[in-house]
Amino acid sequence: MGVAISLKGKNAIVTGGGGGMGRCTALMLAEAGANVMVSDMDGAAAAAVAAEITERFDVKAVANTCNVTVKSEIDAMVEEAVKAFGRIDILNHVAGVFGAVDFLEATEADYDKQLNINTKGTFFVDQAVLKVMIPNRAGKIVNMCSQAGKYGFPTNVAYTTSKFGVTGMTQSIAQYAAPYNVNVNCVCPGIVRTNIWERALEDIRRQGGDAEAYFESRLQGIPLKRAQTMEDIAHMFLYLSSDFADNMTGQAINITGGRVMH
Residues with Cβ within 8 Å of 162's Cβ and at least 6 positions away in sequence, in order, are 114, 115, 117, 118, 119
CB-count exposure of residue 157 (10 Å: 0-12, 13-18, 19+): buried
In angstroms, the CA 243 to CA 42 distance is 31
Question: Which residue among the candidates 159, 176, 214, 239 is catalytic per the annotation?
Answer: 159
Helix or strand (DSSP H, E) at 159? helix 157-177
Q: Could you tell me if 74 and 81 are in contact, meaning their C-beta atoms sit under 8 angstroms apart?
A: no
- Could you give the angle at the alpha carbon of 174 between the alpha carbons of 164 and 243, nearest 5°? 115
Task: Give Cα 23 distance to the centre of its chain.
Answer: 10
- Tell me whether residue 214 is one of the annotated catalytic residues: no
DSSP 38: E
- Please choose, from the candidates 143, 150, 161, the residue with its C-alpha nearest in 3D space to the C-alpha of residue 250: 143
In angstroms, the CA 29 to CA 237 distance is 9
Q: How many other CB atoms are found less than 10 A from the CB of residue 135?
A: 9
- Please choose, from the candidates 6, 26, 31, the residue with its C-alpha nearest in 3D space to the C-alpha of residue 14: 26
What are 90's strand-pairing partners?
12, 140
Q: Which residues are catalytic?
A: 159
